[in-house]
Structure 1
Amino acid sequence: MSFQSLGLSEALLKAVSKKGYTTPSPIQQKAIPPVLEGKDVLASAQTGTGKTAGFTLPLLHLLSENPKEKYRPIRALILTPTRELAAQVYANVKEYSEFLNLRSAVIFGGVNQKPQASAIRQGIDILVATPGRLLDLQNQGLLSLKRVEIFVLDEADRMLDMGFLRDIEKVIAMMPEKRQNLMFSATFSKDIKKLAHGILNYPIQVEATPENTTVEAISQKVYRVAKAKKTDLIIKLISEGNWKQVLVFTRTKHGANRLCEKMVKSGITAAAIHGNKSQGARTKALAGFKTAKIRVLVATDIAARGLDIPLLPHVINFELPNISEDYVHRIGRTGRAGASGEALSLVSADETTFLKDIEKLIEMKLPVEVVEGFEPDPNASTVPIKQGQGRQNRSRGNSNNSRNSNRNSNRNNKSRRPKRNSDRRN
């Protein structure tokens, strides 16, 4: 199947060709036709499947068929959970609309709102936004969603994880009831289906997995290690392996900072990326990582969601996630586009239950290795570590404390997932 056969306009086909794409991915093949027909779509697709183009291309096609050149109200809203994902989606929108007479803008927190408000005031067709900044600007009377024709909720499962349900409901209330809705999620959990039921009208449901499955594309290994020896072991692996580009996941922002500092002291260039970092610092860290100026990027799950890092060779779980699906998201950042990738997990005794849950989800037993001098503590407890907020994270608030409190309280009522607000700030 070719992009031409999907029914996209010549301007879009020209943009797609310029990016070097010739064949649509499975999610694009399944999602684009029903979107072009004006139907609501519920799609299950992980990062790395080409899902952004799966909704961006048909959205641009539909808007370009009925241009509003004099006055440009916001006609399409793409809502994303994180700043990085918003920036990435916006970049795709700009690239694909290069040969179309459409205007777009992106808004998110952590940066000055004046340029964002100015872009909206001049008139735009497509707005890419994170919930917090969107509601802030709307409350100030700086934008209106009364003319939205197409609404896209990207990474809906992560939205719920981050406690954005109440914000989503507020945003929906600002838009016309008659509109086309597209919802993308990595999973179809009960909470996602419930959310979809309240947003979508008779949706077409599509699913697509990455071209290379977790098992086929990625070499996975577990290192059993004493908790206190994890830092020394990860430094040894990276240094002796002479690895140049490594994405490391920690469970908390404080843990990311601490690990990053120790790596730098050992001579490994590293940077941390998480919700407490300014947008400028996050952008600089990611740019340095992509250009190999920084060897190691240490990140929390929320901050890393949606990051576009092509051909990433190494992913290390410094700590296992307590939600098994997050393991798949993490390691799915390597082994893309047919390239090989390696995913390593440093597992201490108290993470044994998490490991068993992950192996059950991916339906395979992961190979285990023990490095001499870094053996696990035979007397350590295998009782799972307590999830939620460590003391250091509770004390590190931000300017959105009251909003965080409301969202967290709301999510406790709406979702069974453990609290994750230590990593959410958009």
Structure 2
Amino acid sequence: MAENQQKALAGTSPEKFGDFGLASELLKALDDLGYSSPTPIQSRAIPVILEGKDVMGAAQTGTGKTAGYSLPVLQSLLYHANTSMSPARHPVRALVLVPTRELADQVYEDIRKYAKYTRLRAAVVFGGVDISTQTGILRAGTEILIATPGRLLDHIQQKNVNLGQTHILVLDEADRMLDMGFLPDLQRIVNLLPKERQTLLFSATFSSEIRKLAKSFLENPVSVEVARKNATADNVKQAVYHVDETDKNEAVEYLLRQHQQKQVLIFSNTKAGASRLARQLEKKGLKASAIHGDKTQAERMAVLDAFKEGNISVLVATDVAARGLHIEELPCVINFDLPFVAEDYVHRIGRTGRAGATGEAISLCSAKDEKLLNEIEKLIKRKLPLLTIPVFELKKEKIDKAETAGSGKRSERSPYKSVGLEKKSQDPWFDRPYVPEEPSGEEKRPEEQVSRLPKKPLAALLGGKPKA
């Protein structure tokens, strides 16, 4: 095994998982899953972790980071595997910390599959569910614990778990944990761990804050990066559509019907926006649902299961809810809203094109999103293709023609002056959004009743110059 590890460290990538010297129980589980050849991050990380070194691992989302750290962790713990019923024989020896419930559940499912033929126990704890349902599992003992920081501290406070024998710590998606304000919780948890331990930090992106965190928590870490910093996958086709802000709902519907994908994940920046878009798509006859932090864990898991099984074809999600989602062969991701943080763009489009599959990432960009788009392009160090939707270009032309009728020139008040991202005029008539269909009485909101649109249909407005 040592020879294979040195070979990998020297730059010779193992062609099979058996080249790492993994136990037969783990190799059998990988065969069941159809895994034959390791991915680049796995080829480089597994030998280093098996040597007991601290690791900072960076790779594009969907390239197998979970297996990259969990396989060597399981290999290291096989010595402690036993069938005893005593909780004392099953202390927490490896702790995996993740930022969200969905990612915690996904990592747990993956590790459980890899450990299928071993005698090691794995458990997962996260918020949003009754803590008492997790208490019994923890008190029965488990060698590998996957947890979100807040819920883990709750269990520690209730003395349901002890970390005194935890000699392996994994921080998965550490950048997201910092973004979500988990640093104080992480520090409290690390202070409870033995000083002599192995720490592994994995993420799709490495910010300066993450590198500072690594200096505090890791000791002489080996940096394993298989892609340039904040890179996006080459197998994901990316494009940006210029649309007016008030046309975004219609644009999404148009793109969904044109592409006819079986599964599409749409990102919204707000929980209310996600729910509203899902309702509107449902009214248009599309099988859509929303997932966000205001939903209970049971509701979120039910929606996610329905999406994975194909009962729902369109899932509208916020960043927090979507982190950790793993959908096999998800063909398309749509950014209804561009993310406020450019790094989130990398995570979002990483939901598609996983494990070498091809994918498509579409973003809608209005005039107010131009700065966000510039930040994204600066981060990923590339310009994204800028496209237009023909049906909306035709709409712009009709409005321009209506304004110029009898005047011989285009009105400077038009919000559709050209294909680019020009700033909209301050004319109150055009700055009011147009809604072709009035919402039902049940869904109509007070602000919609007061300030939504001119009473005349759009066709009537095209007959002449609008009145202010």
Pick the TM interval, shorter chain.
0.7 to 0.9
Describe how 1:21-420 pairs up with structure 2 within 5 A.
21-67=35-81, 69=84, 70=86, 71-209=89-227, 214=232, 216-375=234-393, 377-378=415-416, 381=423
Q: Is the 8 A contact 2:332 2:360 kept in 1?
A: yes
Question: Take 1:168 and 1:48, find their aligned partners in 2: how far apart are those partners?
Answer: 25
Q: Secondary structure at the match of 2:392?
A: coil
Question: Take 2:208 and 2:306, find their aligned partners in 1: how far apart are those partners?
Answer: 39
Q: Which runs of 5+ in 1 are unaligned?
A: 383-426
Change (3 A) 1:18 1:215: closer
Q: Deviations over 1:69-127 (max 9, x none)?
A: 45211111111101111111111111111111111111011112222110111111111
Q: Secondary structure at the match of 2:357?
A: coil
Q: Is the 8 A contact 1:221 1:369 kept in 2?
A: yes
Q: Is the 8 A contact 1:74 1:148 kept in 2?
A: yes
Q: Is the 8 A contact 1:246 1:316 kept in 2?
A: yes
CA RMSD of aligned residues (A): 1.9
Q: Deviations over 1:33-75 (max 9, x none)?
A: 1111111111112321101011111111111123464521111
Change (3 A) 1:215 1:72: closer
Aligned-residue offset at 1:304: 0.9
Question: What is the aligned length?
Answer: 381
Question: Take 2:145 and 2:355, find their aligned partners in 1: how far apart are those partners?
Answer: 29
TM-score, structure 2 as length reference: 0.78
Q: Is the 8 A contact 1:49 1:209 kept in 2?
A: no
Q: Is the 8 A contact 2:128 2:297 kept in 1?
A: yes
Aligned-residue offset at 1:208: 2.1
Aligned-residue offset at 1:350: 0.7
Max Rg structure = 2
Q: Is the 8 A contact 1:49 1:208 kept in 2?
A: no
Question: Take 2:60 and 2:51, find their aligned partners in 1: how far apart are those partners?
Answer: 24
The answer for the alignment partner of 1:15 in structure 2 is: 29
Q: Secondary structure at the match of 1:374?
A: helix
Q: Is the 8 A contact 2:81 2:118 kept in 1?
A: no
Aligned-residue offset at 1:215: 6.1
Change (3 A) 1:39 1:285: same
Q: Is the 8 A contact 2:172 2:203 kept in 1?
A: yes
Higher RCO, 1 vs 2 (CA within 8 Å, ≥6 residues apart): 1
TM-score, structure 1 as length reference: 0.85
The residue identity in structure 2 corresponding to 1:249 is: F
Q: Secondary structure at the match of 1:216?
A: coil
Q: Secondary structure at the match of 2:338?
A: coil
Q: Deviations over 1:171-229 (max 9, x none)?
A: 1111111111111122221110111111111111111249xx74631222211111011
Question: Take 1:340 and 1:24, find their aligned partners in 2: how far apart are those partners?
Answer: 18
The residue identity in structure 2 corresponding to 1:15 is: A
Identity %: 51
Change (3 A) 1:309 1:33: same
Q: Is the 8 A contact 2:267 2:335 kept in 1?
A: yes
